[in-house]
Amino acid sequence: MLFKKQSKLDMENIPEHIAIIMDGNGRWAKKRGLSRSMGHREGSRTLKKIVEACYDLGVKYLTVYAFSTENWSRPKEEVDELMKLLYEYLQNAERELKGKNVRIIVIGDRKKLPDNIVSEINRVEEKTSHNHGLNFIIALNYGGRQEIVDAVNAIAEDIRYGRITEINEELISQRLYTRGIPDPDLLIRTSGELRLSNFLIWQSSYSELFFSDVLWPDFTPKHLEEAILSYQGRQRRFGGVK
C-alpha cells in the first residue's frame, strides 16, 4: 500500500479515469548526462509505481501515452529503445502486476508496430481480459486525430451499407479506440508543458487538467496524490451551472 492513512484524499471522490502524458524523460536524462533511452527506462520504472498507486486507490481506468504517431520521427536508436521497453513491459506484465486484478488494454494503430510487440499485446490482453480491478490502457502508436479519422471512416462505411441513419456524439464515441471506456475525469501532464499533444482530444473535452512541473521519472505517488487533491477541490459543471 503506497498511501498512508494520514492522506488527505477523499476516498469517496477518486477519479474513475486518470489519463497521463508522461513527459520529461529526455530532459531528466540530459540533466544527468545520460542518454535519452536511460530516461525512458527510468520513466518505465515510474510508471510501474504509478500503476500500483492507482490500483491501491481504486482508480478504475488509467490511460498512459506511451508512444504517439509522431514519435516515429525520433532518432532510430531512441525509437528502438522505446519499442524494446514496451516489449519487455508486456512480456513481464504478469510478474510486474504481482497477481493484481489489472486488465491491460492497448489502444492505437497496431499496423505499424513490430510483429513481436503485436503478438505480446494480443497475449497480454487475452490473459488479463477477465480482470476488472484496474483497466490499464496503454496508448501505443496513438494519435487523437488519426483515431477520429478512423472513426469517421468506419461510420462512412456503416452509412454506405445502410447500417446507420444518424450520426451523434454517442456513435462517434463508440467508434473510437476507447469505445466502452468512460472519458478521463483527470488528465495529468508532467514536465511543465501545457498542451494535449494529440492525446485523447475527443475524450478529454470535459476532463480536469493538471500540469505538473515534475519530470516524469521523478513523478511519485505523492505527486499523483497532489493531482487528485487538486481535482477534488474543483467543481465540475460540464457546461452547466451549479
Q: How far, in Å, CA of 165 to CA of 11, rounded? A: 43
Identify the active-site residue in 56, 71, 109, 218: 71
Q: How far apart are CA 28 and CA 22, in angstroms?
A: 12
CA angle 228, 207, 56 (to 5 degrees): 35
Left if phi > 0, otherwise alpha if psi is -120 to 50, otherwise beta: which for 101? Answer: beta
Closer residue to ligand FPP, CB minimum distance, 191 or 203: 191
Establish how many alpha carbons lie within 13 A of residue 53's alpha carbon, considering only the half-sphere containing its beta carbon: 24
Binding test (CB under 6 A) with ligand FPP, winner from 89, 177, 199, 231 = 89
Any contact of residue 43 with ligand FPP (CB under 6 A)?
A: yes
Which of 15, 20, 24, 113 lies at the binding interface for ligand FPP (CB under 6 A)? 24
Q: Which of 23, 183, 185, 225 binds ligand FPP (CB under 6 A)?
A: 23
The active-site residue, picked from 23, 135, 141, 183, is 23
Mark the segment that binds ligand FPP (CB under 6 A) among 11-19, 39-47, 103-111, 228-236: 39-47
Residue 186 vs residues 175, 195, 224: alpha-carbon distances, Å: 22, 14, 11
Binder among 54, 59, 85, 228 for ligand FPP (CB under 6 A): 85
Which three cell numbers mark 105? 488494454
Residue showing the smallest CB distance to ligand FPP in the complex: 26
DSSP structure class, residue 62: E
17 binds ligand FPP (CB under 6 A): no
Residue 110 C-beta: closest distance to ligand FPP, Å: 15
Cα–Cα distance list, 184 to 24, 30, 145, 207 (Å):
22, 31, 17, 6
Q: Furthest-apart CA pair in the chain: how many Å?
A: 59
Minimum Å distance from CB 88 to ligand FPP?
A: 8
Site string for ligand FPP, 211-230 (x = CB under 6 A): -----x--------------
Catalytic status, residue 116: no
d(CA 135, CA 127): 13
151 is a site residue for ligand FPP (CB under 6 A): no
Please give the Cα distance from 226 to 215 (Å, whole number). 15
Residue 213 annotated to the active site: no
Provide the annotated active-site residues.
Answer: 23, 71
- The residues that touch ligand FPP, with contacts defined as CB under 6 A, are 22-27, 40, 43-44, 47, 66, 71, 82, 85-86, 89, 138, 191, 216
